[in-house]
Structure 1
């Protein structure tokens, strides 16, 4: 690595890691971060975005207000960096966005889609007037070979940008790709070259070391690899590897001090690669959608992998089914969730069902479906996410008499899977309109199905909620269901009633035992 003594290191933990914390960070952790890096051989710290106002809550480090820049500059001895997202910023915004950063920020990087490279050049010219170093972070490196127009424009960056970054947005490049792309860029410009690697295939370290061997001038990393989707090259790993090669010397106590609090955060937020991120990286698929599925939605691993695999192969995995027409009407619906009470009180619930003259059963989960397999009234199974596979596993010898399956409106995010035996009785909703949010929720699917059947009285079992210390995903699911129940009450003026114990405030409660 004879060229390695010339390169610089940029840590972008607070910017890239913000995708997990919504750009809010504990102030004590940030203080430790800055103080520790004062003793480490890292040249730049990218602390966040400067952004125009967005229509959702995004935290401190998404906007980096002036007081934050002042605090950061006061405690950090490093060069500080902010980034602009080119798709949201125009030259006329630059004065307001960058004026307050003067004296605190040394470099402004610009996140660029290759398709917008020409437009980014105009934006950079305006940024350059304010005297900042400029970094061009050109994304989607693994797809550059398909961007012929952009490749022919790289030379135009000369004299405008101080650094031209090859950004492996999908985490899908290999060392030979790094070498090839480096030569393409180097042949067109004398601008210093950088590399930003993601870790979907756990190649961020070898790709970065390869980039250094090629002669790049700057590389990125984040503490514990904290970053969007599968995350980035770990700063501590890069520094350790370079130290072992005799290229860097530093205080490992300082490194350990900054790593410890981020490792604790990692246990909470769960960044790092997994099978869905590996599939998306290997096939250069966007991480934004995968991150949403993995961290915020409740799709199973199998359904995510199937959707990614089909997408990568160009397979159309959505089936346009018959719409549920609602010709048959019911006055009452019992919606059965997957909570323990749906099984624990199943004998009483079965008695309750037998005593009703005009009721249909709607399963929002297959977990408790076995407990009600002998009920002769209409039973509808909602197949969102991976419920088709779960239902098939639950009871393969299902009698399809008085059974229907209903899927969300076409097209579906996770595609379509229907157990073969149930294909004849499979329908889809044409829309979900009782709530303005969470249209892919299985609870929304169950309620909209009931409304389609003319239901006016809603009972629920197996919607227990959660008690004690709950995980982030459980809390999100709980809040999602609360919103859905609230929508049913307010928008349709129905009163949803739980017949089993529940933590949901928007479900009124009655005891199933009082009704049998």
Structure 2
């Protein structure tokens, strides 16, 4: 439903504006992106603009209990610091506290963190509590009331709660002294207008005081939900400048005020915000990239805490496949509704059963030179030279990507270790009819089912920071990347001389560059006998060579003699396959298929490609 239709159907009018308080929480909710360390000049412009616009309450940040990490000033909102700002003349100032930081010893903690209201620029304190924390907040409100503050309860993650749980939280809150309002927060951004109306009605039946609503925009419903809440009678509604807030962000303050002015005649001077939005906060958005996206929508749909997505998207060294892998893990994790950095790290490692593979890499490579092909521009620019190099030197070729444009008969194996890449490319594996190096023990059952007709070299894998170990049936690698996985397999297979093509690298300071350099450092420490060289341009700390460099005459002669018999290569005798194309016309298609299958089976058996048993 369009916003204008919602406004018309909901009967939003000037009568609903009476007593409505628009609370801006940009510095508090947006601080998740910069550790609450906003530039002071920006904050000064922000405060002046919001006061001029007529915003009723400015929640300027958290009143966080100090911990062992750097956080900016708006994580603490110390009274003395706030007094140095151009505080608003009209709008009231608020801070939020997290109940979990205060409920264990509320009296001592409140008295340590809050001066009496008369001595502070803060007038309103919001207490954010999860369902299981609400009942423990009574003493917190008692202490805040004693100090003279206006108090609001913010019940989080209401979208995932059963109606009876919501009602019970409200009944518990009714017992708190001097509580002014109860907020319900769509923390995961998964609520729709009808659910907002339902929760609002439920709270109204248990609570006669003011009700507030806090939106998130994971599914693009923040504005519609906020308008539905206002139409239903809430007296407090949150917004942030340009929607800046955790994860997908919140309803945009400027948009909400425009709709209230246009449709209900509200008295807000929205023009005061335009410069702030278009200059200051648009620049911030270009840096921090908040706002709705596919991943935030999925997190809302499956009850994943948005901070997981924010952390993954904000860390440039995680690629798309790692993020998709982690998402698929988290959506089946019953603990993912609460952010936990340990769970994030587990998810980023991917599916790991920890079992060794069923395939033995010992002797796989023999004494051949290994050529690892990456997807970088170095391969594309020198493709013909690479092909000639392979034909001339007959190295053992491993591809890190099935999309690399090279004749498949020149490739000894492809490598894959990302769950999401395997899921996307399994059809391609079937088409290639080449061995695929992958850790079956790290893949979920639904992926294994798709690999029945794929020739898998089941080489086990575990991910442990700062560790690189290559054993016959599996490896330990420092990061979930296919390059170290392939390096481990060829190392276990007997490789000594490893060349790279299309292994371009990134610029100085790029997290992906730093990550791969750390991986290479681990590899060198664990396997000093390996000779690693790049044959196309690379920014990694590898020995440099050239795909065009000639070999010594005597070496070339030796290689030519060794490569002359067709049986010396581990690749199939292609003439047998070609002969299948010239079968007599009278032979049936079925006969062709049978003969093709028989020859391929014989070829694979002859070169040791028999499909390994999977354990």
Please report the TM-score for the alignment, with normalisation by the length of structure 1. Answer: 0.81
Q: Distance in 1 between matches of 2:207 and 2:372?
A: 63
Q: Unaligned regions of 5+ residues in structure 2, if any?
A: 1-11, 335-349, 468-476, 552-615
Larger Rg: 2
The aligned counterpart of 1:471 is: none
Partner in structure 2 of residue 29 of structure 1: 42
Q: Deviations over 1:306-356 (max 9, x none)?
A: 83997499xxx9796973355425576544332211222234444555677
Aligned mate of 2:160, from 133, 140, 143? 143
Displacement of 1:171 after TM fit?
Answer: 1.2
Kindly indicate whether structure 1 or structure 2 has the higher relative contact order, using CA contacts under 8 Å at least 6 residues apart.
1
Does residue 280 (structure 1) correspond to residue 316 (structure 2)? The answer is no
Q: Deviations over 1:47-73 (max 9, x none)?
A: 333334556655443344566433345
The whole-number CA distance in structure 2 between the counterparts of 1:65 and 1:499 is 58
Aligned mate of 1:465, from 472, 483, 505: 505
Summarize deviations over 1:7-49 as a string: whole Å, max 9, x none.
1011111222223334333333323211211201212222333
Cα distance in 2 for partners of 1:100, 1:475 equals 48
Contact 2:56–2:90 at 8 Å: present in 1 too?
A: no
Q: Does structure 1 residue 410 correspond to structure 2 residue 442?
A: yes
Consecutive unaligned residues of structure 1, counting only runs of 5 or more, are 469-473
CA contact (8 A) 1:4 1:215 kept: no
Identify if the C-alpha distance between structure 1 residues 221 and 310 changes in structure 2 by more than 3 Å, giving closer, same or farther: closer
| Contact kept in structure 1, 2:116 and 2:147, CA below 8 Å | no
177-186 or 449-458: bigger deviation: 449-458
- Structure 1 pair 74/292, CA: closer, same or farther in 2 (3 Å)? closer
Task: Please say if residues 32 and 257 of structure 1, whose CA atoms lie closer than 8 Å, have aligned partners that are also in contact.
Answer: no
Q: Does 1:388 align with 2:406?
A: no
Do structure 1's residue 84 and structure 2's residue 97 form an aligned pair?
Answer: yes
| 8 Å contact kept, 1:35–1:76 | no
For 2:544 and 2:319, the matched residues in 1 are separated by: 26
RMSD, matched Cα: 4.0
Matched, 1:291 2:310: yes
User: Quick one: distance in 2 between partners of 1:119 and 1:454?
Assistant: 62
Number of aligned residue pairs: give it: 500
**Deviation, structure 1 residue 174:** 2.0
Partner of residue 41 from structure 1, selected from 54, 77, 80? 54
- How far apart, CA to CA, are the structure 2 residues paired with 1:497 and 1:449? 17
Q: Is 1:435 the equivalent of 2:472?
A: no
- 1:236 is matched with 254
The question of 1:328 aligning with 2:362 is answered yes
How far apart, CA to CA, are the structure 1 residues paired with 2:371 and 2:490?
9
Match of 2:538 in 1: 502
Partner-residue secondary structure (3-state), 2:159:
helix
CA contact (8 A) 1:408 1:440 kept: no
C-alpha separation between the residues in 1 aligned to 2:440 and 2:56? 50
Q: Which moved more, 1:295-304 or 1:17-26?
A: 295-304
SS in 1 for 2:52: coil
State which of 115, 128, 148 in structure 2 corresponds to 1:111. 128
Deviation at 1:217, TM superposition (A): 1.9
Q: Which residue of 1 aligns with 2:189?
A: 171
1:470-481 pair list within 5 angstroms: 475-481=510-516
Give the 3-state SS of the residue equivalent to 2:23 in structure 1. Answer: strand
The residue number in structure 2 matching 1:251 is 269
Q: In the aligned structure 1, how far is the partner of 2:49 from the partner of 2:295?
A: 34
Distance 1:452 1:169 in 2: 48
With normalisation by structure 2, the TM-score equals: 0.70
Helix, strand or coil: the match of 2:83?
helix
- The equivalent of 1:398 in structure 2 is 432
**1:260-271 matched pairs, under 5 angstroms:** 260=278, 261-271=280-290
Distance 1:406 1:155, change over 3 A: same
How far, CA to CA, are the matches of 1:208 and 1:42 in structure 2? Answer: 16
Cα distance, 1:462 vs. partner?
Answer: 2.3
1:343 and 1:371 in contact (8 A); partners too:
no
Q: Counterparts of 1:479 and 1:76 in 2: how far apart (Å)?
A: 49
Structure-2 separation of matches of 1:131 and 1:263? 38
User: Partner residue of 2:74?
Assistant: 61
